[in-house]
Structure 1
Amino acid sequence: MIVVTGATGRLGRLAAENLLARGVAPADLAVAVRTPDRAAEFAARGVEVREGDYDRPETLPAAFAGADKLLLVSANAHDNALRIAQHKAAVDAAKQAGVGHVFYTSITEADTNPLALAQVHKATEALIRESGLPHTFLRNNWYFENYTAGLRDAVERGGLVDTAADGRIAAASIADFAEAAAVALLQDGQAGTVYELTGDTAWTFTELAAEVARQIGRDFTYTDLPAEELATVLAGAGLPQGLVDLLVDSGTHIRGGALAPVTSDLRTLLGRPTTTLAEAVAEALKD
């Protein structure tokens, strides 16, 4: 039995769909979600839908029961302390439920990455190691969608702003990372494996803006701002303070190269090239 958490979210849903597409029988797959009604598409296909809410630890042991393999998709709260508490509840429940193997979606170079967000993943990896559970870490770089999801609005404004300067990002698509998770889950001998999952190339915001300009056929620019000014702009746009802090911290450390390393792990798992910058932009802009 494989159990996938977060299956109503972007990564978890695609990972579960990939498992089914790769021949996992619906009876051998369960999805653990905060709101089971939102996973009706899986129930209709014969997949067991279980309530599993990181904020309600009492739901988790039953959600993970019988799991030979558990894909533990990281929580998405903007508060680091809350996320670590959520992950601890999940790891404790996995141990209580006797899970055979935990696959955890982490971040690039979690043990040394200076991003504030990386501290959550570093702490969670430590919790998993300390649990004694067999484990595999899927250390994902940034999603293209972190930037392309809002690209249409940015095109209307004529450009992007950040504080990353010429720092590079070895991003890939959510679909790439989800497919890689499914491939890893279906392989044997994964205990102790750490995958550093990145796109095939790392790009800058200037290169992203140039690609957008090429595809839309008009000017589109990247403006680099001091961190304090970016924080003011984001807060003025109505973003919650926790997200503002996360974005400014991310841009600052991208500037320093925190997301620049490129590896072949993702391409190897996929058996194909990763999504390119041009493909990601085209997907975001298509009608």
Structure 2
Amino acid sequence: MLLVTGVSGALGSLVAARLAGRADVVLGTRAGLPGTRRVDFDAPETLPEAFAGVGTLLLVSAGYGEDDTVVARHEAAISAAERAGVRHLVYTSLSGDGDHLAYSLAHRWTERRLRRSTTLDWTILRNGLYAELLAGIAAPDAENRITGPLGEGRLAAVAREDLADVAVSVATDPAAHRGRVYELVGERPPSAAPSLAAALGADLRPAAAAAARAPSRGRCASGAVPLVQRADAGRRLAAPVLVTVALAGTLFGSAASVTRTRGVEAREQTAAQYVVSGEDLKEVGPSALPDGAVASPTASTSLFVRDGAEAVVKYGARAVADPAAFAELARLPVVAGDLRDLDDRSIVVNEEFERHRIGETVEIWRADGSGPVRLRVVAVLALGTGDNGPYVTRANAPGAPLDRIDASGGGAATVRALEASGGTVRTAGAWAAAGHPESGPQARLGMILVLGIALVYTVIGLANTLLMATSVRGGELASLRLAGATRAQILRVVTGEAVLATAIGALLGLAVTAAVLGTLGAGLAALSAPVALVLPWATVGAAAGVCAAVAVAASALPAWRLTR
């Protein structure tokens, strides 16, 4: 006996009409209409009775629905057929050229399920696009115009009548078609739009896609919703990563850049080969140095300058013991004047001074409180990073102990002579590096605490976003499983998406960091300071790595649970 399912549908009703009057044929409908058996795939308990005594089952695809719903219906039908002793099952599937269609997954799963059956013989009818769809497209609108998304596409459509004929032929003689897969499509694929126009005697006027879509702007096909949701989740995922990476890069990068710039600036401001540093150094006179050697001792001091009628501004300054040697070894950023003119009655100032024109007089008070003393401006320095303070001779810094000696020439003999000063002798590069370390321990601890707080919030945000976003993708992940994807492949897809969103956030964070450091560099250049920018790759990489690890874990865990 042959049972045909879905006879209330378009294809099933045509098959039923061709088999009408045959005693060895029974018909099935979901509602169990008069003269039919009730075959409700959503109610598996009805199937044993429906399949009783059936030798051949023509299973018409179970209609529209989500992939997991259709798969569950077909599984119920096939399992019931196996238990009922059905010998041959004929299934109406989808043509092989339709694999790109969203509803193809359920058809391909059903085909694989039949091939795995150990009790059923089977035949698969891969039905092509129904020609009747063109009739629906060809319905004119109120302006007697037919609009359809045909373009230059070619359709090898086939009439339902022909598909019904094939189904009847196979189902009534199943043994001759055992284990066969038939591709049932049109004989030739004509160009759809010209063929339709020719058949109707109408003019063909191709329209731009944008114009054709204009009336439906703002609408969204249901199949696009998951993509919109996924894009929104991706934005929510990338945003906290961007903030964390940008914070790590700008916070640590700015501090390191300023520190390195100060070190480079200090090194560039002296032509000395050696620098002696220490407290209360002994002066090394010219007689103690070898021939050709030059030494310039200087001391730290302070100067006070009146700002207005009441305020007094304190400046950190340096007192020069030998103006001639100082002028020879110093490479200060002089914007006006000449360092060689410095003497006991003059001063070298920077552009921050209210009076900073050559020849102007500056009234100062010395560090010991004496003054005021009127000194003539002989040179003006660029502002730099703030270390280009005023310079005076030791006559204007009474009692200031020497704390630095710059020296050049003489080789090892000069080094031995400098050691007699009682300070630490270093090369100029080593001195600049020692005087300007990357950052102090307290400052670094503070930056780590700030970054740590931001990272904690980012981790919470990432975990929350991914756990929720992945958890609602059960249907999508189930479809992938039905399409034949393994759990490992699905996990790679899900975690790959999380890593991609994290990488995008990290790249955007690096872009923000580059913009901030670039602005910092422009500001340093405007101050006539050397630009030595530092991008803290290790810190940025660690922050991005933590974000990526959390993203992978938070996406993999729910995906693993959903694909069990």
Q: 1:107 aligns with which of 86, 90, 94?
A: 94
> Counterpart in 2 of 1:175?
161
Report the Cα distance in structure 2 between the residues aligned to 1:119 and 1:155, rounded to whole angstroms: 38
Amino acid across the alignment from 1:79: E
Asked if the contact 1:79–1:242 (Cα under 8 Å) also holds between the matched residues in 2, the reply is no
Q: 1:32 aligns with which of 28, 40, 50?
A: 28
Q: 2:108 aligns with which of 122, 132, 138?
A: 122
**Is the partner of 1:26 in helix, strand or coil?**
coil
Q: In structure 2, do the counterparts of structure 1 residues 35 and 230 end up closer, same or farther at CA, with 3 Å as the change threshold?
A: farther
Amino acid across the alignment from 2:30: R
Question: How high is the TM-score relative to the length of structure 2?
Answer: 0.36
> Counterpart in 1 of 2:83?
96
Q: In structure 2, do the counterparts of structure 1 residues 50 and 165 end up closer, same or farther at CA, with 3 Å as the change threshold?
A: same
After TM superposition, the structure 1 stretch with the greater mean CA deviation from structure 2, 172-181 or 142-151, is 142-151
> Counterpart in 2 of 1:61?
48
Q: In structure 2, do the counterparts of structure 1 residues 207 and 185 end up closer, same or farther at CA, with 3 Å as the change threshold?
A: same
Report the Cα distance in structure 2 between the residues aligned to 1:182 and 1:231, rounded to whole angstroms: 45
Report the Cα distance in structure 2 between the residues aligned to 1:91 and 1:62, rounded to whole angstroms: 14
Amino acid across the alignment from 1:10: A
1:10-53 per-residue CA deviation (whole Å, 9 max, x = no partner) reads 11111122123xxxx5321111111223xx4xx3xxxxx10001
Amino acid across the alignment from 1:207: P
Report the Cα distance in structure 2 between the residues aligned to 1:165 and 1:181, rounded to whole angstroms: 32
Amino acid across the alignment from 1:31: L
Report the Cα distance in structure 2 between the residues aligned to 1:205 and 1:167, rounded to whole angstroms: 6
Question: How high is the TM-score relative to the length of structure 1?
Answer: 0.68
Asked if the contact 1:158–1:220 (Cα under 8 Å) also holds between the matched residues in 2, the reply is no
1:82-114 per-residue CA deviation (whole Å, 9 max, x = no partner) reads 11111111111111111110000011127x822
**Is the partner of 1:189 in helix, strand or coil?**
helix
Q: In structure 2, do the counterparts of structure 1 residues 211 and 80 end up closer, same or farther at CA, with 3 Å as the change threshold?
A: farther
Report the Cα distance in structure 1 between the residues aligned to 2:45 and 2:117, rounded to whole angstroms: 18
> Counterpart in 1 of 2:15?
15
List alignment gaps of at least 5 residues for structure 2: 227-564
Give the total of aligned pairs.
224
Q: In structure 2, do the counterparts of structure 1 residues 196 and 244 end up closer, same or farther at CA, with 3 Å as the change threshold?
A: farther
Asked if the contact 1:33–1:50 (Cα under 8 Å) also holds between the matched residues in 2, the reply is yes
> Counterpart in 2 of 1:252?
none
Report the Cα distance in structure 2 between the residues aligned to 1:234 and 1:31, rounded to whole angstroms: 45
Report the Cα distance in structure 2 between the residues aligned to 1:124 and 1:241, rounded to whole angstroms: 24
Q: 2:194 aligns with which of 190, 203, 207?
A: 207
Q: In structure 2, do the counterparts of structure 1 residues 3 and 223 end up closer, same or farther at CA, with 3 Å as the change threshold?
A: farther
Residue pairs, 1:118-157, within 5 angstroms: 118-132=104-118, 133-154=120-141
Q: CA deviation at 1:63?
A: 1.3
**Is the partner of 2:177 in helix, strand or coil?**
coil
Report the Cα distance in structure 2 between the residues aligned to 1:129 and 1:176, rounded to whole angstroms: 26
Report the Cα distance in structure 2 between the residues aligned to 1:97 and 1:65, rounded to whole angstroms: 6
Asked if the contact 1:72–1:103 (Cα under 8 Å) also holds between the matched residues in 2, the reply is yes
The percentage of counterpart residues that share the same residue type is: 35
1:64-83 per-residue CA deviation (whole Å, 9 max, x = no partner) reads 22111110000221422211
Report the Cα distance in structure 1 between the residues aligned to 2:66 and 2:37, rounded to whole angstroms: 26
Report the Cα distance in structure 2 between the residues aligned to 1:138 and 1:13, rounded to whole angstroms: 17
**Is the partner of 1:136 in helix, strand or coil?**
strand
Report the Cα distance in structure 1 between the residues aligned to 2:225 and 2:160, rounded to whole angstroms: 22
**Is the partner of 2:50 in helix, strand or coil?**
helix
> Counterpart in 2 of 1:233?
216
Report the Cα distance in structure 1 between the residues aligned to 2:217 and 2:162, rounded to whole angstroms: 29
Q: In structure 2, do the counterparts of structure 1 residues 18 and 118 end up closer, same or farther at CA, with 3 Å as the change threshold?
A: same
2:177 paired with 1:190: yes
Structure scoring higher RCO (CA < 8 A, sep ≥ 6) equals 1
Amino acid across the alignment from 1:233: S
Asked if the contact 2:59–2:90 (Cα under 8 Å) also holds between the matched residues in 1, the reply is yes
RMSD (Å) for aligned C-alpha atoms: 3.1
